[in-house]
């Protein structure tokens, strides 16, 4: 009887690139859990102005802490000054007339407010609004706005270069420590010119945004364009000074209404711009916190491998 003979076929040969591992390496470390500050940041609405998270103001623990007490005293002092200025603005204008008249009569008297504005452009100093009002009282809307624009722009240009060349490394360290600052810096770097201009028009003081612009590596011509386009924001305080000077002459009711309208319009614009910045910060916040956690994972991995 004939029997069929079966020959055994050789097993197929497979080849693979030995430089590519068959299984991904595992170091036994998982992404660290969020820290308490990161959990609070994710749970908050994102209401912050870069360095300050306004959501923390809602807790009683904050106001009972030394930092909260200092904030409370500062807010009360500012509110008292604003209230006194609103009530006694006529007497203030009349009392300042000798000084403002002397300054206006000098050939280079306009350089005095310009120099003051340059000095006030460096954080944490403030007071641009007071100088703007005095410019309006002394020189009127045209010359007053020109002086205010020159002093503010010159001061912020100097501020930009000082922080760009002297404080960039410190800003990088602060960005690693402060979540809201990191979110704001990320928005400024990646948000485009629209977001940059919104930051200039927002409730955030302009000289504070300048420091972040410089530390984030923004090109000078982009900063300069945003600074020039946001100069109308300075016009508001000058116009309020013009109205205050006019109220001394007896046109109080009409000028007060105009001053209120101008202030309300300015507040609406700055609040809307601030809302844009806040929304953009909320978008990048999860990514920023995730990157912080991954950075801690890398640090832990390097420690365990030693």
Section 235-263 average pLDDT: 75
Each residue of 198-244: pLDDT tens digit? 888 887 778 778 888 888 778 889 899 999 998 888 888 888 888 87
Q: What single string gives the DSSP state of each residue in the chain?
A: ---PPPPPPPPPP----TTS-SS----S-PPPPPPHHHHHHHHS---B-SS-BGGGGGSHHHHHSHHHHHHHHHHHHHHHHHHHHHHSHHHHHHHHHHHHHHHHHSTTTTHHHHHHHHHHTSTT---HHHHHHHHHHHHHHHHHHHHHHHHHHHHHHHHHHHHHHHSHHHHHHHHHH-HHHHHHHHHHHHS-HHHHHHHHHSSS-HHHHHHHHHHTT--HHHHHHHHHHTTHHHHHHHHHHHHHHHHTTT-HHHHHHHHHHHHHHHHHHHHHHHHHHHHHHHHHHHHHHHHHHHHHHHHHHHHHH-
**Is pLDDT above 80 for 262?**
no
**How far is Cα 16 from Cα 26, in angstroms, rounded to an integer?**
21
- Which one, of 208, 160, 200, 142, lies nearest residue 181 by Cα? 208
Q: Which residues contact 27 (CB under 8 A, 6 or more apart)?
A: 301, 304, 305
Which tens digits make up the pLDDT trace of 146-171? 999 999 999 999 989 988 888 777 77
**CA angle at 207 for the pair 82 and 279, rounded to the nearest 5°:** 90
Residues 210 and 81 in one domain: no
Domain extent for 81: 56-85
On the question of pLDDT at 182 being above 90, the answer is no
According to the model, what pLDDT value does residue 252 have? 61
Residue 155's contacts (CB-CB under 8 Å, 6 or more residues apart) are 117, 118, 119, 120, 121, 122, 207
On whether residue 220 sits in a domain, the answer given is: yes
Residue 119 lies in a domain: no
- With bands split at pLDDT 50, 70 and 90, how would you rate the model's confidence at 304? low
Q: What is the pLDDT of residue 115?
A: 92
Which pLDDT does position 146 carry in this prediction?
92
User: For the chain, what is the domain count?
Assistant: 2
Residues 166, 78 share a domain = no
Out of 47-51, 167-171, 178-182, 295-299, pick the least confident.
47-51
Confidence (pLDDT) at 267: 82
Single out the residue in 40, 68, 85 at which a domain terminates. 85
pLDDT digits (tens, 9 = 90+) for 80-134: 887 887 777 778 777 877 888 888 888 888 999 999 999 888 876 677 888 888 8
Residues 6+ apart with CB under 8 A from 203: 49, 270, 271, 273, 274
d(C-alpha 280, C-alpha 217), whole Å:
19
User: Could you say which of 85, 101, 127 is where a domain stops?
Assistant: 85
Q: What is the pLDDT of residues 16-56, one digit of tens each?
A: 455 545 444 555 467 777 777 777 767 665 444 444 556 66
At which residue do the structure tokens 């922080």 appear? 163
Task: Compute the average pLDDT of residues 253-277.
Answer: 78
79 and 189 belong to one structural domain: no
C-alpha span between 294 and 191 (Å, rounded):
23
What is the distance between the alpha carbons of residues 197 and 202, in angstroms, rounded to a whole number? 9
Report d(CA 274, CA 204) in Å as an integer: 8
176: in domain = yes
76 assigned to some structural domain: yes
User: Tokens for 165?
Assistant: 């060349």
Say what the pTM is: 0.71
Which residue is associated with the tokens 């006030």? 120
286 within a domain of the structure (yes/no): yes
Residue 285 lies in a domain: yes
- Average pLDDT of the residues in 186-191: 82
Q: In whole angstroms, what is the distance from residue 89 CA to residue 176 CA? A: 45
CA dihedral 152, 156, 157, 158 (to 10 degrees): 110
Taking the CB of residue 30, how many other CB atoms lie within 10 A of it?
Answer: 10
Last residue of a domain, one of 85, 100, 134: 85
User: Is 81 inside any structural domain?
Assistant: yes
On whether both 291 and 167 belong to a single domain, the answer is yes
pLDDT higher than 70, residue 255: no
The maximal CA–CA distance of the chain, rounded, in angstroms, is 134
- 80 and 163 share one domain: no
Indicate if the pLDDT at residue 273 is higher than 70.
yes
Q: Is 167 within a domain?
A: yes
């Amino acid at each position: 009887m004939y029997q069929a003979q079966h020959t055994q076929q050789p097993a197929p040969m497979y080849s693979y690139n030995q430089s590519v591992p068959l299984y991904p390496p595992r170091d036994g470390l998982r992404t660290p859990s969020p820290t308490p500050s990161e959990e609070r940041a994710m749970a908050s609405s994102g209401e912050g102005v870069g360095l300050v998270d306004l959501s923390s103001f809602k807790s009683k623990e904050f106001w009972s802490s030394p930092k909260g007490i200092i904030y409370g005293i500062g807010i009360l002092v500012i509110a008292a000054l604003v209230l006194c200025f609103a009530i006694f603005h006529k007497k203030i204008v009349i009392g300042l007339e000798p000084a403002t008249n002397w300054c206006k009569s000098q050939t280079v008297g306009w350089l005095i407010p310009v120099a003051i504005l340059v000095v006030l452009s460096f954080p944490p100093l403030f007071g641009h609004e007071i100088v703007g009002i005095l410019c309006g009282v002394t020189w009127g809307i045209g010359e007053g706005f020109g002086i205010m624009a020159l002093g503010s722009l010159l001061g912020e240009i100097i501020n930009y270069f000082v922080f760009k060349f002297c404080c960039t490394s410190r800003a990088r360290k602060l960005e690693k420590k402060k979540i809201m600052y990191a979110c704001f810096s990320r928005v400024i770097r990646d948000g485009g010119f629209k977001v940059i201009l919104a930051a200039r028009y927002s409730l955030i003081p302009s000289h504070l945004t300048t420091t972040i612009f410089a530390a984030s590596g923004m090109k000078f011509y982009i900063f300069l364009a945003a600074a020039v386009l946001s100069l109308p924001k300075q016009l508001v305080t000058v116009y309020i000074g013009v109205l205050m000077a006019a109220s001394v002459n007896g046109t109080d009711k009409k000028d007060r209404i105009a001053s209120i309208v101008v202030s309300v319009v300015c507040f609406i614009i700055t609040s809307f711009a601030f809302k844009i910045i806040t929304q953009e910060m909320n978008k990048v916040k999860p990514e920023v916190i995730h990157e912080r956690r991954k950075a801690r994972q890398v640090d832990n991995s390097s420690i365990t491998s030693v």
